[in-house]
Amino acid sequence: MVLFRRTLGEVLRSARMQRGLTLREVSAEARVSLGYISEIERGQKEASSELLASLCQALDLPLSVVLREASAAVAREEALAGLVTIERPVALERPARAVVASAA
């Protein structure tokens, strides 16, 4: 299951690093506790919409861009999950060989 908060956390962390900002700086700018931002970045806490808006403002990053990045990252995860699903029918063809192997 692809969880939004994990991808969102990665996007926010990546944006902060690209700007060379510390958790302390973003915390002061967004008026959100450092520990809370850290948990959001690690995908451990859900960010409320108000908090997400504050973080975006502190990072000088439009919410639409954060969501676009998150969408792209989730799409990659979904594609990987899709590959696993596609492999299942291939795996289903194998019992024939398995039967031969166990008979041998």
Positions touching a second copy (CB under 8 A) are 1-6, 46, 48-50, 52-53, 62-65, 67-68, 70-72, 74-75, 78
Q: How near is the Cβ of 54 to a second copy at its closest, in Å?
A: 9
d(CA 8, CA 56): 11
Smallest CA-to-CA distance from 44 within 15, 10, 14 is with 10
Cβ proximity to a second copy: between 28 and 65 the closer is 65
Cβ proximity to a second copy: between 72 and 99 the closer is 72
Q: How near is the Cβ of 15 to a second copy at its closest, in Å?
A: 14
Cβ proximity to a second copy: between 80 and 99 the closer is 80
